[in-house]
Each structure stands twice: as structure tokens, then as C-alpha cells.
Chains A and B, each alone.
Chain A
Amino acid sequence: MDLMPPIASICLGFIFGYLGQRARLCFIGGMRDWYLIRDTYLIKGLFAFMVAALVGFGIFHIMSPAIKTFPWFINGEAVFAKKWAAMGIEANPNFMLPVPGDPITWSPRAFAHIILAIIGGLGLGFFSVLAGGCPFRQHVMAAEGSRSAMVYLLGFALGAILFHKFIVPLVKTVLG
């Protein structure tokens, strides 16, 4: 049993939580502040995150076998081709297919993935702004003692069960 992922993830979570509390990191807050009052303090955090991750992936692409699929729109197609051969699906991977994670993961129709991304993205932005921040910020606020954020966490956890019991079969039948 490989113990390295949980230990590494709890350390990363600790650093993330500590830095996020001190520096008031919030990704949705960055977009909201930029739109409402043209304030760029938080959105610089978002861009710094993306640039640093990009640089990190670029460097580790050479050093480690785990990031061989790095520019996903170039190297990801091999992953799909292999999986589809194992699953018996005949299709040609194109460069728009996303990194696995959404409910119809191995579907060859890129259009379906994009529809899910659009609907999910709109809901995510809208509900996060009403709640007062991105999910990360709500976790930090719950650790600071805010009762509203603790109830948010409860809804967050129960939403996962609701999603997988009711919504995934719906999505699978509609978008195949």
C-alpha cells in the first residue's frame, strides 16, 4: 500500500492552508474584485499559480516519468487511444479531449465534454460568488471560525453524494 500520496497531500494541504490564510488567497475573489472594482491583488495570485505550475510541469516533464503526458493536447491522445483499444471503442482522439475527471470521462465526443464544461463553469462561478468565495476560501474561513462556512462545508460534502447518486446517471444517458 503506497503511503506516499496521502502523506504528500496532507503536507501540501497544510502549506496551502497556511499560506492561503495569511495571504488571503481566493481565485474566484480575484475575478470578482477585478470585475467590480478593477483590483488586481487577488487575480495576480491566480496568474502566479498558473505560471508556476506551467514552469513546474515543463521542468519535470524532462525529469520524471509521471509527467510524460504534459502538453495534454499533444501527448494526451496516446492515453485515450490506449484506453479506447482496451474498451473496444473505435474513435480517433482529437486535441480537445479533457484530462480525466468529469462524469463521462472516456467518451470520444469532445462536444459533450465542452457542454459539461460550460454548464459546470457557469454554475460554479455563480454559486461561488453568492457564497462569498471559492471553495478554498470557504475552507479557510471555516478554520477561522465562521459558522456559515462550516455549514457550507457540510453542503459541500453532501453534494458529492447527491451528485453521484442522481446526476451522473442522468448525464450518462443524455450525453452517452
Chain B
Amino acid sequence: MADITLDVCGEVCPMPVLKTKKALEGMKPGEVLEVIVDYPPSRENVQRFATSEGNEILGVEEEGNKIKILVKKV
């Protein structure tokens, strides 16, 4: 379902948010980006950043140690 997958496991702030920002800038509206993090503050940062730009969070799922966030660009 995701058009682009971004894996930032093992990276601590600010890298996840910076890479999410770069990826979102290169996407067309309507595409879905999946971000995989494994650090809870990164999950909160990515969520806060995506909604502050007006994008929509489609879902957040936890799989063991990893957390997947689905962001739809608006």
C-alpha cells in the first residue's frame, strides 16, 4: 500500500525527521510514505512533523521493536 518506504531504524533525532521531510518534498499529493522507526521519541517527532505540515496519518502499527507510520501527503 505504501509507495515509498523509509527505514530509519537505529537513527536518533534529528535524522528521522530530516529524512522524512526530504522524502515528503519529493512526493506527489496522494502518495503514501511508510516510515519505520525503532525509537519512541522518533515516532512522536515524525507524527508531530507530518501533521504540522497538513499531511494525514493513516495509521501507526507496532511490530515487536519497530514502529511503522503511514503518512499520506496532502
Contacts and interface: CB of A to CB of B under 8 A. Distances in A.
Interface string B1-31: 0000000000011100110010000000000
Nearest to B11: A132
Contacts of B41: 24
Contacts of A32: 14
A132 B12 contact: yes
A38 B18 CA distance: 12
Contacts, number: 28
Interface string B39-53: 001001100110010
B52 A132 contact: no
A37 interface: yes
Nearest to A132: B12
A33 to B, nearest CB: 7
User: For chain A, which range describes its interface: under 10, 10 to 19, 20 to 34, or 35 or more residues?
Assistant: 10 to 19
Nearest to B52: A39
Nearest to B21: A37
Contacts of B18: 36-37
Interface string A3-47: 000000000000000000000100001001100111101000000
A24 B43 CA distance: 12
B49 A132 contact: no
Contact of A37 (B12, B44, B49): B49
A39 B46 CA distance: 11
Contacts of B13: 29, 33, 132-133
Contacts of B12: 132-133, 141, 146
Interface of B: 12-14, 17-18, 21, 41, 44-45, 48-49, 52
Given A37-B21, A39-B45, 9 more contacts: A29-B14, A32-B14, A33-B14, A36-B17, A36-B18, A41-B48, A132-B12, A141-B12, A146-B12
